[in-house]
Amino acid sequence: MYFKNVLVTTDFSDVSFAAFAYAANMEHSHITILNVMQDWNAPPLLLEQLPDPDTLTKYREDIFKQTKAKLDLIAQEHFHNLKTHTEAIPGTDDPAAAICQFANENDINAILIAGHGRGSLGNLFIGSTVQKILQAARCPVIVVPKAR
C-alpha cells in the first residue's frame, strides 16, 4: 500500500524506534518524523522567583534545538535515501491530540506509531496515546508492535 505523506512519531524511546525500520521500507513516501516535546511550563510563582525570567525561555529554545538536531540525526541514520522532514512541536497535556492536529494540518496520509503497551494490562497491548490516535485520526494509523 502506498501513502504519499507518512508521519512517524517518536518519543526517543527504544520502543518508538521500532517504527523507523517499518517506515524506512516506504521508499516512495515522504516521511515526516515528529516529536511532541515535553511541556515545560513553570508555575507563575516560580517564574517570579527567577532572577532572569528569560532563563526559562532560553532553556526551552535550547531543548528545542537539541530535539531538532536529534531528529535530524535519526533521519540520517534510519532513512538514508528517503525524502524526510523532521518536526518538534511544543508539548501539550494531550500528545495524541497534538499528533492528530499536526497530521490534519500537514496533509498526512498515514500515521506510523509504535505501540508501547505500558498501562494496566498494557492498555490491552497498546498504549493509551496510541488508542487516542486510533480514535481521533482522520487518516489510517499503522501501529508497529513492540519488539519481543
Instruction: Give residue limits of the domains in the chain.
Output: 5-144
pLDDT greater at residue 50 or residue 26: 26
Percent helix, strand and coil across the chain, each to the nearest 5:
45, 20, 40
pLDDT of residue 127: 61
What mean pLDDT is reported for the chain?
Answer: 86
Strands 141-144, 5-9: pairing is unpaired
Query: How many helices and strands, by DSSP H and E, does the chain display?
Result: 6, 5
Distance, in Å, from the CA atom of 147 to the CA atom of 42, rounded to the nearest integer, reads: 36
Average pLDDT over residues 127-134: 87
- Beta-carbon contacts of 5 under 8 Å, excluding residues fewer than 6 positions away, are 29, 30, 32, 106, 107, 108, 109, 110
Closest CA to 7 of 101, 73, 81: 101
pTM here is 0.85
The type of residue at 147 is: A
Q: How does residue 85 score in pLDDT terms, banded at 50, 70 and 90? A: very high
pLDDT of residue 81: 80
Superfamily of domain 5-144: HUPs (3.40.50.620)
Confirm if 43 and 34 have CB atoms less than 8 A apart: no
